[in-house]
Amino acid sequence: MMQQADRGVVEEREERELAPWAMRSALSRGRDHAAPADRWRSAFQRDRDRIVHARAFRRLAYKTQVFINSQGDLFRSRLTHTMEVAQLARSAAQRLRLNGDLVECISLVHDLGHPPFGHRGEDMLAELMADYGGFEHNLQALRIVEELEHRYPEFPGLNLTYEVRESIVKHSAHGEASKVPQRFHPKEAALLEACLVDEVDSITYDCHDIDDGLRAGIISLQGLSEVPLWSGALAQASEESPSGTAEKLLIDRAIRILIDAFIGDLVDNSQRAIGHAGLSNMTDLRAHQTANLITLSGSMATAKAQLEGWLFDHCYRHWRVNRTFHTARATLRDLFTFYVSHPDALPDEHQERIDGSGLHRTVADYLAGMTDRFAIDEYRRISHPGTNASF
């Protein structure tokens, strides 16, 4: 009878195949609450399973990436974006011989702290919480996995490994140490797995916002032709496709070409940077503070910045997007004001947190956990009873 692959087999494979500076699950610094090791899954595989079963993870399906969910079924949500990041980051991790299970965990957890209505929603909550400890989506994600999720009777949160929780708030060699809680050793360099997810996250939304922006009619191919990186990808797509190929298929191919170019450059340049750094093991990595080792080449970074600048001007600040998000900001502001004034209207489980977390933080937690749809419905219930308020 064939022997089943248990945790030991997974850990042996990591030791054999991963680069010396990659994080091994067997060397994890552990969990806040002691738990026996799983027979079949490595520490990071177990974390992945806990994340995907979390309520906060499921809610990502109805949270905005750029376009509010009610505006179309095919636009990306936080959940679809998260899955795309996980796929691309894991593929890049394999090429760099980094820990794919850890990369997947970080990818899946990285957006858990985002409130409804995208970055405009975060900006609004940050303004509302300015005098009460602030609001930042990475710290909120950490709060979710350490405190707010309740799936186990023995402890609050998901009891994830140190490395996954650390990577939520520390994922760049140049990150602001002042924002990293002391328990995660701010002066210690971030794991390469975390830095990889951070770079791939940015690449993913750049490429897929092109797709969603074109689909929404917010941007046009004619306008995008101003961006050399895109015009080159579209020209290559045309050359590689049969004559008469539909425009939508050319766009799809051009986006794939763009993603491949970004990921290929990221992997190749990161390999060179790691080699030049002279790392021998994880200890060397943790002490390395001089430069970000997971990074695009200078020329590709410049081209990417040009693309992002164009998207900022023509997509993210388009009047239709602005109009929607001004309404979204007002929705969060009014909900915040209502619940601070009427805490007895909060669900019981949130009222129970007020003594420990404070009223304003409790309200922020409640609002941050809302989906776009729920926030809109909640606003309608308290502001316009009997009407159908929708964006």
pLDDT digits (tens, 9 = 90+) for 347-368: 999 999 999 999 999 999 999 9
* pLDDT of amino acid 324: 80
Residue span of the structural domain in which 150 resides: 9-383
Q: Residue 388: inside a domain, yes or no? A: no
**pTM, entire model:** 0.93
* pLDDT of amino acid 71: 52
* Angle at the Cα of 61 from the Cα atoms of 58 and 66, rounded to 5 degrees: 140
Confidence of residue 75 (pLDDT cuts 50, 70, 90): confident
Domain containing residue 362: CATH number: 1.10.3210.10
For residue 281, the one-letter residue type is N
* pLDDT of amino acid 391: 47
Buried-exposed string 269-296: b where 16+ CB fall within 10 A, e elsewhere: bbbebbeeeebeebeebeebeeebbbbb
What is the signed CA dihedral for 196, 198, 202, 205, rounded to 10 degrees? 100
Q: Residue 170: inside a domain, yes or no? A: yes
Q: Residue 342: inside a domain, yes or no? A: yes
* pLDDT of amino acid 1: 62
Q: Residue 3: inside a domain, yes or no? A: no
Mean pLDDT of the chain: 92
* pLDDT of amino acid 325: 79
* pLDDT of amino acid 18: 98
Q: Residue 2: inside a domain, yes or no? A: no
CA distance 305 to 301: 6
Percent of the chain with pLDDT strictly greater than 90? 84
Q: Which of 158, 148, 143, 157 is nearest to 352 (CA)?
A: 148
Lowest mean pLDDT among 123-127, 317-321, 340-344, 367-371: 317-321
Number of structural domains found in the chain: 1
> In 53-191, which residue ranges form alpha helices assigned H by DSSP?
55-59, 78-96, 100-109, 118-128, 137-143, 162-169
pLDDT reading at 73 higher than 60: no
pLDDT reading at 29 higher than 90: yes
* pLDDT of amino acid 323: 84
Confidence of residue 2 (pLDDT cuts 50, 70, 90): low
Q: Residue 66: inside a domain, yes or no? A: yes
* pLDDT of amino acid 386: 61
Q: Residue 390: inside a domain, yes or no? A: no
The residue among 383 and 238 whose pLDDT is bigger is 238
List Cα–Cα distances, 115 to 67, 182, 328, 367, in angstroms: 14, 25, 11, 7
Percent of the chain with pLDDT strictly greater than 70? 94
Mean pLDDT for 315-324 is 82
* pLDDT of amino acid 142: 98
Confidence of residue 118 (pLDDT cuts 50, 70, 90): confident
* pLDDT of amino acid 94: 98
Mean pLDDT for 239-248 is 95
pLDDT reading at 68 higher than 60: no
The structure tokens 């309608």 sit at: 380
Confidence of residue 89 (pLDDT cuts 50, 70, 90): very high
pLDDT in tens, 124-181: 999 999 999 999 999 999 999 999 999 999 999 999 999 999 999 998 755 566 689 9
DSSP 64: B
Q: Residue 17 half-sphere exposure, CB side, CA atoms within 13 Å?
A: 15
